[in-house]
Structure 1
């Protein structure tokens, strides 16, 4: 048994009073972030040589803020500590030239969330007790058995649903050893090609993706009509003004579009989870290429296909599952893995992507391009670890 930190996500079903309080807490966290950020800006403008107020200093100011804005007391107090921690990290990244200047948060953002460190516990199979909110109905909580909750994040996404993301400490059992090793080459037509010749196809959800395109078009058209109507009304009426949110038709299209987009994301996540778990169960040693997906996105002909394949997410899942279950993941350089003959080691040079099979000019061995690369990956990985 090994102790690990896992993330578990539950759906929430708040009543009207809880919904109102949730949105109040979203606003309170946003208020604290904006106040602290504004304070840092004003302090710098007044005296550029002044010392930056660190996380401890911002936490010290929270008591004064609650006196000035009494409604902040409605929130879980630990959520403000998380806000200050995140803002301090953002400034540290800025000072080290690893990120841009922190931005003010808006209530118009489609995704709202707050994170707390207070104690929350399971009350029943479909019910949890959260700070300030009390008992709230959820999806099944069976995954939380024998787990210690470290922190929680309550979020609202564009689909109109509320979710509770929990960071828990739990124990996992080591998977039995199989004595098998495999090299994996990632691709576009097939997500993963194993050195033993097995090919795992890339995820696809064609119907849902068509619906996303369809409703994106409807959303754009309806929003454009609403904006035109608002501008015409406000131009002709000086006393009574309309707002874009007064028109509901485009908002319905936005909600439907978001739900289809979420369905595609959920299906992709489920496919990757099942595939990576299957690989970790079958093999003790897995060797993959250290690909820089960010650089590959510069090819606009392949960017969408690479993003759909989710190479980065595939690797992340393999990394933490191998660590959990006592397996070994090895990453190697991707240089020349598809050019070298796996039989004799001859480097045949670069080939266009459309060439999927080739014959070695030196030993006349016929290769499937992807399987040959996977075999080279496995050999290079095993050689690297002796």
Structure 2
């Protein structure tokens, strides 16, 4: 079982310069090999594609030609070749979905590199990382007993450094059984509505969203002003100072402030989803959700922003791996007709506008809350698809 742990890094100024070099080395290797593969394909498309082993054999040649590559962790360069080989294969298998691999730029807001070498815990807040030595971290107590498979060091647009560790853990930690099952209907006003009648609200972050929009406008305005200044120098070099676009500090500062607000909103949403998912996993043994195609649903431009803010995809991903960790079961069912069918008699009442939140079945006369009725239908469909669950007594979880 693999688990991920993300820590905050506090590198010294010398280590920050070294990290900039390591980020650049991985980017340089990616661009060099990609240029070679593109030229090779243009010269003769019939040539067989290079595999991962052949790309690794090119690394010693690059190190002899460019000695600064020796400053990088050798395993990180091997990860670059592996990722490039995978991206190239995806392009030939499904070109419409993945597209051709692109060159990496040093102006990307997020820089990172991944390695497979050994990382050692030296003290409560210190780690020994390959090529960097001793680096101060936020908390090493989060690293449980296990083997570190990979590490990723990243420099975020907020100006902060993070370390993500992939840890292999041998034993799982199952939670006590509750013999309860629940169906969940996803919504926008409420993130999830359970078949028990509980409605879990979405994260209320209007203030943060307002600040993000404000700084987005300010950043765009300052970038435009900097672009105008650069163009003015091109036409009148005697009366203007020569500066590149990235040299304008006002624009760089506002861009970082905007990134910090965005990171704060993302962290709050992630924390909210963690609290909700662990609560559901502790309370229920079987969780049934809809198999929603979020990307297709977001094509509706009237609801796309609300769907993205709700975090349906991350909610499902968290439920999936937490159920695996703690010995619970997650079932996905088709969302078709869950809002149209009466959960009491099964009558199909037809499609209804989103404004209709309550309705009465014309056949049995049962009055339904739209979302709770859909959650009950989801639970019934999930239990019906797994007959073996009825032997455990979970059929009493159905709302009569």
TM-score (norm 1): 0.97
CA displacement 1:183-230 (0-9 Å, x = unmatched): 110101000100010110011211111110111111111121222122
Aligned to 2:395: none
Contact 1:205–1:264 (CA under 8 A) maintained in structure 2: yes
Evaluate the alpha carbon distance shift between residue 148 and residue 232 of structure 1 in structure 2; reply closer, same or farther with a 3 A threshold.
same
Partner residue, 1:38:
35
Moved more, 163-172 or 344-353: 163-172
Cα deviations across residues 137-176 of structure 1 (Å, max 9, x unaligned)?
A: 0101101131211100000110000100000012441100
Q: Which runs of 5+ in 2 are unaligned?
A: 388-400
Deviation string, structure 1 residues 32-91 (Cα, Å, up to 9, x no partner): 101111111121222222221111001001111100000000000000100000001011
In 1, Cα distance between the equivalents of 2:308 and 2:195?
Answer: 24
Aligned with residue 95 of structure 1, among 92, 95, 100: 92
- Name the structure 2 match of 1:344: 345
Match of 1:260 in 2: 261
SS in 2 for 1:176: coil
Tell me which of 26, 49, 69 is aligned to 1:72: 69
For 2:343 and 2:244, the matched residues in 1 are separated by: 66
Q: Which residue of 2 aligns with 1:28?
A: 25
Secondary structure at 1:8 match in 2:
strand
Counterparts of 1:334 and 1:42, CA distance in 2 = 47
Residue by residue over 1:113-158, the C-alpha shift from the partner in whole angstroms, topping out at 9 and shown as x without a partner, is 0000000111111110000000000101101131211100000110
- 1:103 CA displacement: 0.5
Map 1:106-145; keep pairs closer than 5 Å: 106-145=105-144
Give SS of 2:58's match.
Answer: helix
Residues 183 and 375 in structure 1, CA contact (< 8 A), matched pair in contact too: yes
Alignment of 1:224 with 2:221, yes or no, is: no
Aligned-pair CA distance for 1:268: 0.3
- Name 1:287's counterpart in structure 2: 288
Q: How many positions carry a matched residue from both structures?
A: 383
Aligned position for 2:200: 200
Task: Measure, in 1, the Cα distance between the counterparts of 2:119 and 2:7.
Answer: 13
CA distance in 1, matches of 2:78, 2:242: 40
Structure 1 contact 348–360 (Cα < 8 Å) conserved: yes
Aligned residue in 2 for 1:81: 78
1:240 is displaced (CA, Å) by 6.4
Higher mean C-alpha displacement, 242-251 vs 315-324:
242-251
SS, match of residue 329 in structure 1: strand
SS of structure 2 residue aligned to 1:142: coil
Q: Give the alignment of 1:361-380 within 5 angstroms.
A: 361-380=362-381
Is 1:153–1:166's contact at 8 Å kept on the other side of the alignment?
yes
| Counterparts of 1:210 and 1:34, CA distance in 2 | 39
Give the TM-score, by structure 2 length.
0.94
Give the aligned partner of residue 382 of structure 1: 383
**Alpha-carbon separation, structure 2, partners of 1:241 and 1:142:** 50
Runs of 4+ in structure 1 deviating by more than 6 angstroms, as ranges, are: none
Cα distance in 1 for partners of 2:341, 2:46 equals: 58
Residues 234, 242 of structure 1: 8 Å contact kept:
no
SS of residue matched to 1:20: helix
SS at 1:338 equivalent: coil
Q: Does residue 252 of structure 2 align to residue 251 of structure 1?
A: yes
CA RMSD after TM alignment: 1.2
Cα distance change of structure 1 residues 367 and 240 upon mapping to structure 2, 3 Å threshold: closer
Q: Where does residue 51 of structure 1 map in the other structure? A: 48
Moved more, 125-134 or 218-227: 218-227
Alpha-carbon separation, structure 1, partners of 2:246 and 2:61:
36
